[in-house]
Amino acid sequence: MTYKLLGKNFTPPDVVAKVTGQAKYAEDFRVDGMVFCRLLGSPMPHARVRRIDASEALKMPGVVGILTADEVTPQPAPNPTILTNEPRYIGEPILAVAAVDETTAQDAIEKIKLDLEPLPFVIDPLKSLHPDFVDARLDGNVGVQGVKLQTLRWTEEDFAKAREEGHLPTGKPAQEWAYGDIEAGFKKSKLVIEESFVTASNSHHSMEPRTAMAYWQNGKCFVHGSTQSQSFVVPGLCGLIGIKPDELVYIAEFCGGGFGSKGSAYVVMAIPALMSKKINKPVMMRISRAEEYAVGCARVGFIGRAKLGFGEDGRLLAADMYIVQEGGAHNGFWDYRNAADALSIVYTPEAMRWRGVPVYANTPTRSAQRGPGENQIACALEPLFDLAARQLKIDPLQIRKLNAPKMNSQVGDDRRTVTSAYVNDALDKGAARFKWAERRARSGQRNGNKVTGIGIGQAYHPAGFNGFDGLVRITPDGRLHIHTGVGNLGTFSHSGTARIAAEALKYDWEQCVVERGDTRKHLPWNIGQFGSNTSFTMARTNYVAAMDALQKMKEIAAKDFGGKPDDYDIDGSRVFLKANRARSMTYAKVAERAIALGGKFSGQELPANINPMTKASATALAGSGLVGVAKDTLPAGGETAAFAVAFIEIELDLETGRFRIVDCLNVGDCGTVIHPMGLETQIKGGTVQGFGLAVLEHIVFDPQNGLPGNVGLYQAKPPTYLDVPDLQADWVDQPDPMSPMGTKGIGEPPLGAAASALVCAISDALGGYIFNRTPIRPDMIISAIAKLPPAHGPLQIHTA
Amino acid sequence: MAGFPDEASRYSRREFIKRVIASGAVASAATYIYGGLSACSTKGQSVVAGGVERLVSINVNGQLRRVDVMPQETLAMTLRYKLGLTGTKLGCDRAECGACTVMIDDVTYYSCSVLTHSVRARNVVTIEGVGGPNGELHPVQQAFVDELSPQCGFCTPGQVVSAVALLKRNPKPTRDECRAALAGNLCRCGAYDNYLNGVMRAAQGVSST
């Protein structure tokens, strides 16, 4: 299908502000009388605050106030707390001090006397499951959203048996599901592989730390925050501050990176608002890079075990996976469940069982990070398919094609059918462009000390939701205003999906205004900008709002010119009678007529099923033009699925263990393309982060003291220009049938595809050596080349 | 200047601390740990023990600006909190990320790790100063728009400044020279390819005019 706007590049309206420095992020706002606050983070990994003596601090000139845990909105355990009297990881905020400048606030914090009672702490989740346990929390050791807080122990026998097998113990799980008969599957398998693996936690490294500034004016709380999302933040943030949605003005027009860690309201962003309320002054809270490693969350780590049974042809007949999720001290994300879904759909096993335990540790809260669960598990599982291919003497491309999802494939235990899957098309397209066969022939080829390695990786993520609201408005100047409550994560999809509404109304893009980034722009209720969902979810909301506007345009024309609404059509600037185009009305005129007619035409009467937030926004806009507003009730069902496959060639130096990425091609299965340049940069950016996940990034906590090791960019190592070659991106431009114009998301899978392809390429260069661990660090490669055992134990985490 | 002066001239952390101490400021351990907390006051008298604001003149974007600065105040803080130039971003405040990159006498520096009093009588150019006087985009900025170089945009001002400085000293760089010159500017979105495309596009434009 040919579109007027979709599939074409455009200049997003926020990009010029980004290159000129005019884009205002949370720390760029100033208000008269603004003071600064600093946090006192816990010096202990787990402690109870017995007493706080702030008397000296409060006497210091320039200090204006203190905020303690007793003064903030309590959060039900085991949710993260705003401030706490029982800190559960080093750096967890205990209190905040406000002063005329930051130095004074920090000096005041130095003068506060804290009486802390140390409590037991644990870094390694396996220690918490052991009979000689230490628990991260006083109220339990296991839990996450969907699994209630509980105490769970494995037995000594579980550990003894696992030691004998050289594998992860598989004691009592907190959660499990299965479909099919795995025992029968393993029995009829020609090859059964069983491996235990570790994937490290890593930080998000958003370039903008989670700074926030807040003040109160005329009964409203104004918050400038750093979030990926806009409307979705409002209910959560109101809950944290303790106000009603109409009492919050939330501004997040720009966000300096989130990658999942700023998807919804997060606890520390409430501190300046609460402090400001107490001291009656605007409060800026800058978060330092070091603090960001504590309060900024991290990706979940896995300690897992996978058993895969293959038929002679390479078909995956049975899969059995167990994951111990290394969570933080509070409820975070549920990566271990997503990992199971990913296995079930990327490789479509005929029978599968998954078991898992989400364990708390005295380390920072784990939030979602780009492809949470799906991308770690890609790094663990993809090499096992290479191992199987090697043993069964099958091409690595073929084993993936054989097991790839098809249009009717199903996800997870409840067998949700995917709305579309074109993985085989992506593999074919990628293999052709990458010249797979030619490169494959070079695998293991020596050139002096250098050896060539070739790898393929694949990854999955759900790519859309439904049921949110759309709101558009045509004003008497003829312009189309697309009000969007989605955030600005940097994908430009706020505007890309706005073009769905423009497309539906045949608008010229120059006549369109994207209203976003500030609750005062009157925005609809939308889900946040996370989970690769925007290109699907927001396509639907903007489409239904545009369709509502279109219907109203036709009705107005029919009122004025006679006939039925269906007798009319639009051409991008006029509504006209199909039988006689002379009978027409400009969009501008239609907007004027809508205002004159009132009622539903200009937002005075609203559909009953829209969210109260949308209702309030539409009501505020009522009378200013023709208002199109609707809840997305389009046909829904199944699992919207995005996939990516990546191909990598590396050259590994057998003397130094260093390698160079020669080429990397990443191919997305992402529905109809909305914005080719935006898509390409998403795929390439995911590729870069994938390199980080595969070989560079991890957080390290000292098990003796609970101290964080990697608290600088140079230590935690996000990829730099010098780690990345020129990249290639491509895509399968196939529409998703559940999206009105075929669009679906793609943000997350390219990361996992690139990461796992790199892991596979390194293994390939080493003749099939399987590390079962990410990141693959240089010392691991050197040890593998030297045929020495690795420096770390098989299930050890937080290795240097 | 030959080679890559930005690499050679960027401060080491040690050098920076030495300068802070030499300037008589009290740098508490916590201040060091938490990273560059100095001088966030927008107005009024500072209350920091051992530090007194002094009036200095610095040339910023072609204008002589007179400003009261603390001895330990970094250029990034002065720009952002006293001169209203918030385009210079603070991503790490410890010379790791490059979001705060500015030019001082045409050489790139991490402004989070330059003391303001050390740039008296020198020419500082920030992101706000690279375009034309009437808001025209610099060829690098235009190329970054055309190549959709930014994603979240937070590192972009630093990327622009590093690219502008590169093209000043080397108007026709190779792609690898661009990569080396911008290597001190992290982009977590991973838009390196798009930034390099932008610098190469700008170089073509710059050299053809």
Please, which residues 162-191 of chain B have a Cβ atom closer than 8 Å to chain A? 175, 179-180, 182-183, 185-191
* B196 interface with A at CB cutoff 8 Å: yes
Residue with tokens 């926004």: A617
SS (H, E, C) A729-781: EEEECCCCCCCCCCECCCCCHHHHHHHHHHHHHHHHHCCCCCCCEECCCHHHH
CB contact under 8 A, A21 and B126: yes
For residues B83 and B164, state if they share a domain: no
Check whether B5 has a pLDDT greater than 50: no
B188 and A206 within 8 Å at the Cβ level: the answer is yes
Q: Does B101 share its domain with B152?
A: no
Tell me the longest C-alpha to C-alpha distance in chain B. 55
* Identity of the residue in A19, A204, A258 whose CB atom sits nearest the CB atom of B156: A19
Whether residues B93 and B192 fall in one domain: no
Please write the tens of the pLDDT for every residue from B102-156. 999 999 999 999 999 999 989 999 999 999 999 999 999 999 999 999 999 999 9
Query: What fold is seen in the domain A467-631?
Result: Aldehyde Oxidoreductase; domain 4 (3.30.365)
Q: What is the pLDDT of residue B121?
A: 86
Query: What is the reported pLDDT for B19?
Result: 53
> Measured between beta carbons, which residues in chain A are less than 8 angstroms from residue B183?
720-722
pLDDT at residue A427 is higher than 50? yes
A20 → closest Cβ in B141, B185, B196 = B141
Cβ–Cβ gap A288/B196 under 8 Å: no
Nearest Cα to A772, choosing from A301, A197, A166? A197
Nearest-CB residue to A677 (from B33, B148, B192): B148
User: What distance in Å separates the CA atoms of residue A734 and residue A723, rounded to the nearest whole number?
Assistant: 32
Six-digit token string for A329: 């001290």
One domain, residues B33 and B116: yes
The confidence band for B4, taking pLDDT boundaries of 50, 70 and 90, is: very low
Quick one: B193 and B109 in the same domain? no
CA distance B158 to B138: 14
Q: Using a CB-CB distance cutoff of 8 angstroms, which residues of chain B are in contact with residue A228?
A: none
Say if residues A336 and A412 touch (Cβ distance below 8 Å): no
CB atoms within 10 A of CB A441: 12
- Phi-psi category of residue A386: left, alpha or beta, with phi > 0 → left and psi -120 to 50 → alpha: alpha
CB contact under 8 A, B34 and A288: yes
Query: Secondary structure of chain B: what % helix, strand, coil (to 5)?
Result: 40, 15, 45
Residue B166 forms part of a structural domain: yes
Q: Do B188 and A288 touch (CB under 8 A)?
A: no
A339, pLDDT greater than 80: yes
Neighboring chain A residues of B144 at a CB cutoff of 8 Å = 19
B91 and B181 assigned to the same domain: no
| Co-location of B108 and B162 in the same domain | no
In chain B, residues 140-159 whose CB comes closer than 8 Å to chain A: 141, 144-145, 147-157
Burial of A692 (0-12, 13-18, 19+ CB in 10 A): buried
Q: What's the pLDDT score for residue B205?
A: 81
- Nearest residue to A519 via CA among A418, A624, A394, A613: A613
Q: List the domain boundaries for chain A.
A: 26-119+205-295, 301-464+638-785, 467-631
- B117 with B95, same domain: the answer is yes
Chain B residues touching residue A369 (CB < 8 angstroms): none
The residue of chain B with its CA nearest to that of A36 is B40
Given CB atoms, is B42 within the 8 Å cutoff of chain A? yes
Q: Give the closest of B37, B182, B190 to A103, CB-based.
A: B37
What is the spatial distance between Cα A242 and Cα A276, in angstroms, rounded to a whole number?
Answer: 13
pLDDT band at B52 (very low <50, low <70, confident <90, very high): confident
The helix (run of H) or strand (run of E) holding residue A248 is strand A248-251
Q: With contacts defined as CB-CB under 8 Å, which chain B residues touch A28?
A: 80, 86
Does residue A307 contact residue A320 with C-beta atoms inside 8 Å?
yes
Chosen from B20, B77, B148 to mutate, greatest number of chain A CBs within 10 A:
B148
Nearest C-alpha in A relative to B148 = A677
Instruction: Look at residues B111, B129, B147 and tell me which one is the last residue of a structural domain.
Output: B129
DSSP SS3 for A674: coil
Q: What is the DSSP letter of A92?
A: -
Question: CA triplet A478, A479, A485: central angle to 5 degrees?
Answer: 145
CATH class of the A301-464+638-785 domain in this structure: alpha beta
Buried b or exposed e, range B93-105, using 16+ CB within 10 angstroms: bbbbbbbbbbbbe
pLDDT in tens, A241-271: 999 999 999 999 999 999 999 999 999 999 9
Q: How far apart are CA B60 and CA A431, in angstroms?
A: 53
A22/B194 CB distance under 8 A:
no
Residues of A in contact with B182 (CB under 8 A): 721
Amino acid sitting at position A81: T
The answer to whether A21 contacts B87, with C-beta atoms less than 8 Å apart, is yes
| Domain end among B83, B99, B129 | B129
Residues of chain A found within 8 Å of residue B180, distances taken between Cβ atoms? 721-722
CATH of the domain at B61: 3.10.20.30
Partners of residue B92 in chain A, C-beta under 8 Å = 289, 712-713
Tally C-beta pairs within 8 A across A and B.
Answer: 214
Query: B27 pLDDT exceeds 60?
Result: no
- pLDDT over threshold 70, residue A298: yes
* pLDDT tens digits, A399-423: 999 999 999 999 999 999 999 999 9
Select the residue of A61, A256, A681 nearest B194 (Cβ to Cβ).
Answer: A681
Q: Are residues B120 and B18 in the same domain?
A: yes
Q: Is A467-631 the same fold as A301-464+638-785?
A: yes
- Closest approach of chain A CAs to the CA of B130, in angstroms? 8
What's the alpha-carbon Rg for chain A, to the nearest Å? 27
Burial of A704 (0-12, 13-18, 19+ CB in 10 A): exposed
Q: How far is CA A702 from the centre of its chain?
A: 27
Which of these three, B103, B129, B155, is where a domain ends?
A: B129
- Residue B202 in any domain: the answer is yes
What residues does B66 pair with on adjacent strands? B57
In a domain, B66, yes or no: yes
Nearest residue of A to residue B38, measured between CA atoms: A103
Number of domains in chain B: 2
Contacts of A220 (CB under 8 A, 6+ apart): A247, A248, A249
Q: Is residue B186 part of a domain?
A: yes
Q: How far is A30 from chain B (nearest CA, A)?
A: 9
In chain A, the percentage of residues whose pLDDT exceeds 90 is: 98
Let me know whether B23 and B107 are in one domain.
yes
CA-nearest residue of chain B to A16? Answer: B145
Among B residues 107-146, those touching chain A with beta carbons less than 8 Å apart: 126-128, 131, 137, 141, 144-145
Cα distance from B57 to chain A (closest Cα, Å)?
Answer: 22
Summarised one tens digit per residue, pLDDT across range B69-108 is 999 999 999 999 999 999 999 999 999 999 999 999 999 9
Nearest CB to B131: which of A20, A36, A686?
A: A20
Residues B125 and B146 in one domain: no
Contact residues on chain A for B193, CB-CB shorter than 8 A: 681, 684, 724, 726-727
B28 within domain boundaries: yes
Can you tell me the mean pLDDT for A103-119? 97
CA nearest B182 in A: which residue? A721
Question: Does residue B12 carry a pLDDT above 70?
Answer: no
Lookup: tokens for B188: 């977590």
Q: How much is the pLDDT for B14?
A: 54
First to last CA, chain B: 22
Q: CB–CB of A485/A526 below 8 Å?
A: yes
Check CB contact under 8 Å for A207 and B183: no
Give the tens place of pLDDT for each residue, A192-207.
999 999 999 999 999 9
| List of chain B residues whose C-beta atoms are within 8 Å of the C-beta of residue A107 | 28, 48-49
Any domain includes B60: yes
Enumerate residues 6+ apart whose C-beta is below 8 A from A384. A193, A195, A306, A308, A770
| Length, in residues, of chain A | 800
Contact criterion met (CB < 8 Å) for B189 and A712: no
B154 neighbourhood in chain A, CB within 8 Å: 25, 206-208, 254, 256-257
Average pLDDT over residues A494-507: 98
Judged on CB neighbours under 10 Å (0-12, 13-18, 19+), A210 is buried
* Residue-averaged pLDDT of chain A: 97
- Interchain CB distance below 8 Å, B35 and A21: no
The domain containing residue B117 runs over which residues?
5-40+53-129
> Contact B145/A16 with Cβ under 8 angstroms?
yes
Amino acid of residue B90: L
* A102 closest CB neighbour out of B37, B157, B196: B37
Q: What beta strand segments (E) does A475-541 contain?
A: 480-483, 512-515
Give the residue from chain A lying closest to B79, CA to CA: A28
- Give the mean model confidence (pLDDT) for residues A688-697: 98
B46 occurs within a structural domain: no
Alpha-carbon gap, residue B196 to B180, rounded angstroms: 10
B26 and B123 inside one domain:
yes
Radius of gyration over alpha carbons of chain B, in Å?
17
Mutate to test the interface with A, among B192, B196, B197 (most CBs of A within 10 A): B192
Q: In the prediction, which pLDDT does A1 show? A: 76
CB nearest to A103's CB, from B38, B151, B194:
B38
CATH fold label, A26-119+205-295: Aldehyde Oxidoreductase; domain 3 (3.90.1170)
Handedness of CA A445, A446, A447, A449 (dihedral sign): positive
List the single residue in B38, B149, B188 with the smallest CB-CB distance to A207. Answer: B188
For the segment A731-740, what is each residue's pLDDT rounded down to a tens digit?
999 999 999 9
For residue B208, give how far its alpha carbon lies from the nearest alpha carbon of chain A (Å): 22
Residues of A in contact with B13 (CB under 8 A): none
Name the pLDDT band for A791 (thresholds 50, 70, 90): very high
**Residue B47 resides in a domain:** no
| CATH, residue B198 | 1.10.150.120
Tokens read off for A274: 């609460």
What are the tokens at A357?
Answer: 């335990």
d(CA A280, CA A39): 18
Res. B207 pLDDT band, cuts 50 70 90: low
* Contact between A101 and B46 using a beta-carbon 8 Å cutoff: yes
